Each structure stands twice: as structure tokens, then as C-alpha cells.
Structure 1
Amino acid sequence: MAERAARGRVSKPGPALQHGKYLFIVVFLVFPVGIYGLFTVSPYLQAIFISLTDWTGLTASQKFVGLDNYVRLFNDDQFLVALRNNAILLVIVPAVTVLLGLFFASMLNIGKRGRSGVEGVRGSSIYKIVYFFPQVLSVAIVGVLFKYVFAPTQAGGILNSFLRGIGLGSLTKSWLGEPDFALWCVVVVMIWFFVGFYVVLFSAAMQSIPKEIYEAALLDGATRYTTFLRVTLPLVWDTVQVGWVYMAIQAMDAFALVHVMLGISGGPAQAGDVMGLSMYRSAFNDYRFGYASAIGVVLLILTLLVALVFLRLARRERVEFS
């Protein structure tokens, strides 16, 4: 007993050692935290301050106007159009992209039962490369390519030429030139562009699931649909959750693709405008940096809220396998 008590007294660190440990941690954290604060936190704080001024971006003087930019913002009909378009992108693009990614990944990894157990469909390795190929291209290149795809026939439009070639000329439209279709063209391109990334992401998650689990489910008579819902989805849910949040952030931005495909105005009658493009136009076209900063702050707050709300709603008990 005395021996055990002595060992306990010796192993307990004293105040000096505890102080040295905390000092060691602080010394190693000061530099990275300082860098993070300088290059990440500081720009956010500057943007918030600028949003409270009428700065044009061309002068050194900045007049403090308080919340006037925010009041003007929510009375601006064009900003409300951009906000509505971002909401459409936020609802449709992540849902369709993630669902397609899960479907294609399941087909490529557990699509059939072969001689060696559960495996992907024939040619799955080639399909993965094909699906991932759009990620090799930059957003600017994708935007330019699809401008030609959705252009009118007389401007070399690939889609309209194809429709005419198969006898469906009545379906041709001036896709990017019509307010009712401009934003939906962007939706299609965003889904096409990102779905390959999620196929590869979900494939990596599914490949970590032991094949014996699927074999047991098949022996118990589970259908593919039941196996996907009760086995695959719970085991890859953490990956799905992260992927959905990332896709939601991409949908809240959408600046680069809309800018390339629809121009700085956001398409015909500015019907395809989004908040990122509205911010860019206010700053570099209208030289209203204070107003543009207010749009950026609203975009930041909405993006954080979307991420927090989804993480809260999608939280569930972690399912693990051994």
C-alpha cells in the first residue's frame, strides 16, 4: 500500500511541470494562430468594417454610414432576385449531385454479385475516369464549352443542332438567351461538373466497407434497395454529410460559372444573377465597395447558417464496423 501510494505521488506532475507544458503549447501555437488571424480573420473583419461605410474603392476617405448598406440591400429588387437564385441552386444542386454520386458509386462498387463476391459493374474502373474527367477542367473552360452547347443554332449551338438533327427542332430554344431557362442551364452544368467528384469520393468510402457485410445481407434475402438503405448509406453517412455541406457552399457561390456563361449582368434581364456576381458587379462595375462588402457579409452569414443547420439536421448516431 505504501509502495503504491509512493508511486502515485511520484507520477503526479507538479505545478512547475504543468506550467512548462502550457508554455510549450502556447509557444508553438502563437505563430500559426497569428498567421491564421492575419490572413484569414483580418480580411473578414476588414470586410465587415467596409460594409458599414460608403467607400468607392478609389479614394482613401471612407464615410461611416452604419447599416445603411444593409437596409438598401434588402430593398434592392435585383439582390432579391440573386438571393432567390442562390436558394434554387442550394436546394436542387446538392440534392441531385449527391444522389447521382451515390447511385453511380454504388453501381461502380457494389453493383452486382460476381464469383468473388460483391463487385462493381463491368468496366467500372473506366467509368470512374470518365465521371471524374470534368474535374480535370477548370470552371472557366467548362463555362466556355457550355456556352457553345446552349447557344442558338445560328451561333453554333450544339444542343439545338442535335435536336434539329434528330427531328426535334420544335424543342430548340435560345437557352442562355431566355430568362426562363438561363439559370436552369447553370444548374445542369453544375451537376454535370461536380457529380464525378462525388462518385470518386463515395467510391472511396464504399470500398472501405467489408464485402462480408454485403454477402451477409444478400444471404438474408435483402434486395439491392434495402441493402443500400440499411447497409451502405449508414456506413458512408459521414462522407455524405461532408460532401453535402461542401456542395451547398459551392451552390451558394456559383460566381465563376455564372459569370462565364451568362456574363457580368447575370444573363437576359439579369434573371440568372447570383449573390457572388452581384457583389462583383457592385464593386468593380459600380465602384460601390461598401455595398459590395455588405453583400459579401450577408453571403458569409448565410453560408455559415446553411452549413450549421445541415450539420445539425443531418446529425445521427455514428455507425461503425469492425
Structure 2
Amino acid sequence: MPPRFTPARVRYDRRYRTLDKYRFILGFLALPLLFYAIFVISPFFQAIWYSFTDWSGGATANFIGFGNYEKMWNDERFWDSTTTSLLLLFVAPLITLVLGIFFAFMITSGGRHRKGQAISGVAGSSVYKVVYFFPQVLSIAIIAVVWQRVFSTRSGLLNGGLEAVGLGDFEQAWLGGEYSLALIATLTVLCWSFVGFYVVLFSAAMGAIPKDIYEAALLDGAGRGKTFFKVTLPLIWDTVRTGWIYMGIQALDSFAIVLVMVPKHALKVTPVFLYERFREGQFGYATSIGVVLLVLSVVFSLLIMRIGNRDRIEY
């Protein structure tokens, strides 16, 4: 006699299959989640705890409450470095993303109309992708050393080039002189080193847009600029918002570039200030600065998610 499939029996079978599926998934995720909790989540809580202590690297760490944060609040060096970091946080993503979107649009849709192709990139677009992405294969320390030579006052390529073309009056001490010049040099290197990544990222997002949408826009009489702002940008907005957050965190963590390239007296950012406190043995104070950097990163991410929130466009 065949089994009777009553509604209650069907609901029971579904519930059992669902439970069995989650057990199967949990079995695979348990070990990775354990490692993630130990090696990623746990250090965050340890850093927060040490930020409330006077730990100096020894076996003991005395709880001092908000003493480190009060010291930080009254430390002018911290505020000077944080002001620079905040400038990089908001300016560097803006410049990098604008350049990345522009280059990506030219590579994917900026070429002339070819026979049989209503939309195409500029000639040699595949080569441009490799050229733009090249800085990503270099160590950030190597990039900082190379650009330090470029901005060098006496033998640098930039000042030497200005003198060679008769513009010697514009030579500057780019790294060891004024604060504004060191900030411009840091922004230049930061944007140059990361723009290639976003060119590839945005090119992939634009390449996923169906060509039919572009062709329909062209048939309606839309020009290249209108097509970009009315079609391309709305369809890749989620990618742009993600890139904005990622680049903001990279700008906030401009440790290697500033430490290697810029002299100490010319420019300070918060990660370098934190590193110097570690070298002095002020581990509790340094971890409190790290907690502030964590809070800044989270606030910035939430702010961009809030500002950039818009209805998702499906295609």
C-alpha cells in the first residue's frame, strides 16, 4: 500500500529537509568560522580591551578607563595627523573613482562606431587595461620608493623635467617643503597606484550591461555624455558605491606611502602616528588610536552606504 502524503506529512518532510540542509552547510562552515573568529574577530576585541589599559608591552596591563582617549583628545599631534587622514579619506576616493570611471567608459564605450558594432571601446583598449593595472602588481613600498625619486628636490624626474623645458622657476621641494605640496604628492601617488584597479573593476561592470540598452539609447538620439549619465552610471552604481568604500579605507590606511616617501616633518597621517607610538612602547595608547581608525572606517562606510543608497536597477 503506497504511503499517504497528508498536508501534515508534507510539512514535516519539508521541515526535515530544510534542517538537514542547514546541518550540511554548518558542517562545512564550522571550521572556517572558528578560524575566522580566532584570528580575525578576537584581535578586534583584544585591541579594544588594551585601549583601556596602560600596556607597554609587558606581562601586565593595568586598566585606566578612558585615560588613553583623554590623552588622545588633548594631543595636537594626533589631531594634525587625523586632519590629514580625513583629507585623504574624502579627496582620494573622489579623484580615483572619477578617473577610474572615465577610463573604464572610454575602454568599453568610448570608441567610434564600427561596422556591425554600435558600441565599442577605443582602439587598443585591451592594452590600456594592462597599462592601467600595472601598478597593482607592484609592492606599495616599491611604488613609494620610485615616486620618492620622482619628487626628489635635486635629482628628481619632476624638477629635472621642469628645468629641461625651461620651467625651472616652478621647481619645488615637493616632499620636504610645504605641507600642501607633500599632501599633493601623497594624493598623486595614492590615486596613481589604485586607479588601475578601479578601471578594471568598472570595465567589468560596464561590460556586463547588455549592448541592446546602449543601442536603444542611440536610437533615441542620446549622445555619449547623456548615455553615460542616464544609462551607464545608474546601472553600475552599486559597483561605484562599493569601490568608494574600498578606496576610502585604502586612503585612510596610507601608511606605507607616507612612511617611505614623505619626510617625518612634512606630513603625518594617523597610521604613521600610531606606528610611532608603538615604537615608543606606548602600546595601550597606540591601540586606542587603532580603535579610532576602526570607528572612522565604519562611520565612513555607513555614511557612503546611506548617501549612495538608491533603488537597484535590474537588467
TM-score by length of structure 1 reads 0.91
Question: Aligned-residue CA RMSD in angstroms?
Answer: 1.9
Task: Specify every segment of 5 or more residues in structure 2 that has no aligned partner in the other structure, as ranges.
Answer: none
Aligned residue pair count: 309
Matched residue, 1:305: 299
Matched residue, 2:268: 273
Distance 1:236 1:6, change over 3 A: same
Matched, 1:96 2:95: yes
Deviations 1:3-39 (A, max 9, x none): xx94423211269937666655555443232211111
- CA distance in 1 between counterparts of 2:87 and 2:15 reads 59
Amino acid of the residue matched to residue 128 of structure 2? Answer: Y
- CA distance in 2 between counterparts of 1:210 and 1:20 reads 40
Amino acid of the residue matched to residue 141 of structure 1? Answer: I
Matched, 1:182 2:182: yes
Amino acid of the residue matched to residue 50 of structure 2? Answer: I
- CA distance in 2 between counterparts of 1:162 and 1:108 reads 30
Matched residue, 1:248: 248
Matched, 1:123 2:118: no
Amino acid of the residue matched to residue 300 of structure 1? Answer: L
Amino acid of the residue matched to residue 268 of structure 2? Answer: D
Matched, 1:9 2:4: no
- CA distance in 2 between counterparts of 1:15 and 1:131 reads 52
Deviations 1:115-136 (A, max 9, x none): 1221001111111111111111
- CA distance in 1 between counterparts of 2:138 and 2:28 reads 39
Distance 1:205 1:70, change over 3 A: same
Task: Specify every segment of 5 or more residues in structure 1 that has no aligned partner in the other structure, as ranges.
Answer: none
Matched residue, 1:114: 114
Deviations 1:142-170 (A, max 9, x none): 000000010112xx111000000001001
| Identity percentage of aligned residues | 46
Matched residue, 2:35: 35
- CA distance in 2 between counterparts of 1:24 and 1:97 reads 43
What is the DSSP-based 3-state SS (H/G/I as helix, E as strand, rest coil) of the residue aligned with 1:312?
helix
Amino acid of the residue matched to residue 119 of structure 2? Answer: V
- CA distance in 1 between counterparts of 2:209 and 2:22 reads 41
- CA distance in 1 between counterparts of 2:136 and 2:19 reads 50
Distance 1:14 1:132, change over 3 A: closer
Amino acid of the residue matched to residue 84 of structure 1? Answer: T
What is the DSSP-based 3-state SS (H/G/I as helix, E as strand, rest coil) of the residue aligned with 1:318?
coil
- 5 Å-filtered alignment, 1:18-57, equals 26-57=26-57
Distance 1:22 1:140, change over 3 A: closer
Name which of 276, 282, 286 aligns with 2:277: 282
Matched residue, 1:158: 157
- CA distance in 1 between counterparts of 2:144 and 2:222 reads 43
Matched residue, 1:143: 144
- CA distance in 2 between counterparts of 1:19 and 1:183 reads 56
CA drift of 1:237 comes to: 0.9
Deviations 1:227-254 (A, max 9, x none): 0011000111111111111001101111
